Structure formats: structure tokens, C-alpha cells
Amino acid sequence: MTDVIRFSAARTAAAIAAGELSALEATQAALDRIAKVDDRINAFLHVDVDGAVAAARDVDRRRAAGERLGPLAGVPLALKDVLTARGMPTTCGSRMLEGWKPPYDATVVSKLRAAGVVIIGKVNMDEFAMGSSTENSAYGPTRNPWDTDRIPGGSSGGSAAAVAAFETPISIGTDTGGSIRQPAAVCGLVGVKPTYGGVSRYGLVAFSSSLDQAGPLARTVTDAALLHAAIAGHDPLDTTSIELPVPGVVAAAASRDLRGVRIGVVRELSGDGYDIGVRARFSDALEVLVGLGAEVVEVSCPHFTYALPAYYLIAPSECSSNLARFDAMRFGLRIGDDGEAGAEEVMTRTRGAGFGAEVKRRIILGTYALSSGYYDAYYGQAQKVRTLISQDFAAAYERVDVLVSPTTPTVAFRLGEKIDDPVAMYLSDLCTIPSNLAGGPAMSLPIGLADGLPVGFQIMAPTFADDRLYQVGGALEAALDAARGHPFLDDAPAL
């Protein structure tokens, strides 16, 4: 079973379909691995042993009956605890929802179950997806499997750490300002934010509704593509869902031809503030792309400079509205209801006890930005910047097919290093935020190590052109693996 945990999702599914491996064996291998290492990682908040075993046995029964299985049937998966799943707690990493079990599945979860994917359990995250290090979880920080004294990124740190620690081969995260791509980068994984609306948000507990998007984390581009295809598609339950065919991401991931592909290096996402090792690995990857036949040019997106401040007005404004539902009156935590306290006092006590410091900070900031007399000066201006950023993307894509940058300015930093400096923490998402503001798809994939820690390479594409990410990412991954002679994550230290 030791070898099974290192199988890719595609290899696991193929072995199950061929009868060489049972889904139950794959699931038990994941459960055994979690039991062995998760006390050092803290990726999982809830392990659904009974549900996972039952789902695996159902896949095995269907295979034995001769049913045609999907490309991920029987593969274990970790689910970020911001997506509702019937029968499992959904806490959003917060005391506010501790112990809450939703009565319905998110559309993403429904699609996973229909595909025969085995959901092992729910994984840790920054509270209500607000953070870049998973240190804001009410249930303790998750640790990076490459170095357990360092952060795994955030807010989908549990989703990334579970895959990097070989607890599951794939996971689902969510990305509001980089919360899939940044953890993928610092944990040495492939992480994808699909086009906004390409994956249903129904059942995804909202942080910032115009930015949130669920997507895959995996150890290979092909695995990410298979998972992307499984969860994507139009959903009438989500009014922002796109009624268009899912791009051919799986076929694109198998392409190795980059001849004629034009790649733009974003001038504004480079320079000071980037680790020397990050810049070196990024330059090396560009040389590989040129060797594969791509044309690499520099492009300017001048308004990207304002993406970070615009994001930290838009996202907190939307979170202050979305989190108003946690009022101690309808569901979730209730503190101080002694029969004498009024509704306002109970609400105040509950929010004081239920929300952590970062969530309170963003609620206050967002409420201020939306308040009378400040709405136009702050929130309104930020939305204008958002339009300008979208226009920068549109102009760049007239010249190139995709844009690229480092995913993060630095490798994983140490736990506690930036927790008391919010601005320094926010800078972790410097490169990833523009794609969220414009709604376009973006990918991070590992390109090597700096100081013994993973470095991520970000690829951005126009809206609805998610397949371009997989075409470029698949070709780059294959070339790097061929040069190294082994899969990238074999470098990861064994826990």
C-alpha cells in the first residue's frame, strides 16, 4: 500500500478500472496514510471513514457488475471545508459553524459523487477563506509537508497539504484572490482557478461572491484536468454559472506542441520583492518554453499595480455583506442567550466569540468601505480599477495567447513570520489577484526548488480558454520531468 499513495489519480483510476486495484484498497491506503502523518500536518478537520468506505465499495460493486466507470472512479479526494457535503460537518475553519452539518450537497460535491470519486473528508482552511497561510483557522494551523515549520499557503492550505503529504492524490480548493494557486506553489502542486462561473458556486459558503471559484489541486497537470472536467459545467442552481460547453482541458493536457504559441511575461509581476531563487526558476522555465517552440515576449499590464488595493476593498466589502447572515438568530453559534439579553447583545457576544481576528478585520474594513459617504470613494473606485485590469488583460491577449509570471514572490515562509503583519501577508497574493478581478482562468505548476522549497509558475488565459492553461502547463511539466528524469514530488521529504 506504500506505493499506492504515490500513484497519480489517473494511474489509480486506471488500476481500479482494470481490476488491478480495488477502490477499497486505494481508500484504505489513504486512510492509513492520514492516520500515520496527519498529526504532524493538521490537514484534515474531519475524516469520514464510514462514508469513504461505503463509496469505495460501491465503485467496486459497479466495476464487478461491468459498469463503465468514469476517469476518476474510486480515487480518494480531500474536500475544502467551505463546500457543503451532506453527512459531514462544514465549519469553514470557524467556531461560528462548529459542528454544523448541512442538509444538502454543494453542486461540486454532487458531481464528485456522481463521478465515483471517494470523498475522504474535509480539510483545514483559513477561517471563511480569509488568509494566505491557513494560520487563521480556528482549529490550528496546517503545516507544509516540505518543512513542517513553514506555512502550506492559504486559504486552501489543508487542500494543498493533504495532496503534498500523499494523503490523497487530488483535492478541491477555492480561489478568491489566489487561494488555490498560492498553496499549490508553496507545496509543489498543480492548482487551477477555472474561469469564473465555469464551476458552480452552489453550496460554496460565500466569502466574496464575485471572486470565489472552486477548482482542483493535484500532483500532475493531467490529474488537475481530469478533476476540472469532473466538477465543471453549467448549473441552473447558480445564477453566475456559464451556460457554455466545458473546455477540452483533458485533451489539452496531453498536447506537447507549443509551436506558434505566444507567451507574454507580465512586466508588472516581476522585479523587486521576489526571491532570487524564484526569479531564477522562472527564467529557467521560460527557456524551456522557448525550447518547446513558444514565442516569449514581455507585455505591460499597467493597472495590475493597483490590483492588490482594489481587491482588499472589493473582497472585504462583499464579505461584510455575506457574513451578516451569521447573526446568532438562524443557525450556527449562539453565545449569551440567557433569557434576559436582547437580540443585539446576543449577536454581539456571538460574533465576538465566533469570528477570528482576520475575519473581524475584513468585516470592519468592508463595512467602512460601503458606508454612506465612502462608498463612491472606496468601493466604487475599486470597481473602476477592476474594469481597467480587465481591459489590460484584453489588450494583452490581442498580442499573446497566455500570460505568465511567478505564482508567488517567495517560497513558503515560516509559521508566525507574517501573522502580525497583515500587509506583508496580503502581498503573498500579489501575482494571483488580477485573474480573480478579471474572472479569467489561471494555473500554478511546480518548476523546481529554491533553497529546498517549491517554486510555482503561473499561467493565465482569457475567460473561457481554460484549455490553454493545460496545453502550456502540460507541455512545460513534461519537459521538466523529462529533464529531471523523475516526477517532481519524489523530491519531497518523506514524513
- Any idea which residues carry the catalytic annotation? 80, 155, 179
Partners of 122 in beta bridges = 46, 79
Using left for φ > 0, alpha for ψ between -120 and 50, and beta otherwise, residue 264 falls in beta
Per DSSP, helices labelled H in 302-396 are 307-322, 343-354, 357-370, 381-396
**SS3 (DSSP) at 46:** strand
129 closest CA partner among 206, 240, 209: 206
Distance (Å, rounded) from C-alpha 154 to C-alpha 193? Answer: 14
CA 287 – CA 296 distance, rounded (Å): 9
What whole-number distance in Å separates Cα of residue 121 and Cα of residue 78? 6
CA 466 to each of CA 158, 172, 189, 248, 321: distance values in angstroms, whole numbers, following the listed order? 25, 17, 18, 8, 30
Query: Hey, how many other C-beta atoms are within 10 angstroms of the C-beta on 330?
Result: 8
Residue 339: partners with Cβ closer than 8 Å, 6 or more residues away: none
In one letter, which amino acid is 173?
G
Burial class (CB in 10 A: 0-12, 13-18, 19+), 334: middle
Strand segments, DSSP code E, in 124-232 are 170-174, 190-193, 214-218
Distance, in Å, from the CA atom of 473 to the CA atom of 430, rounded to the nearest integer, reads: 21
| Residue linked to cell 505564482 | 407
What's the alpha-carbon Rg for the chain, to the nearest Å? 21
In the chain, the N- to C-terminal Cα span, in Å, equals 16
Residue 99: partners with Cβ closer than 8 Å, 6 or more residues away: 89, 91
Strand partners, 489: none
Query: What CA–CA distance (Å, rounded) separates 486 from 495?
Result: 19
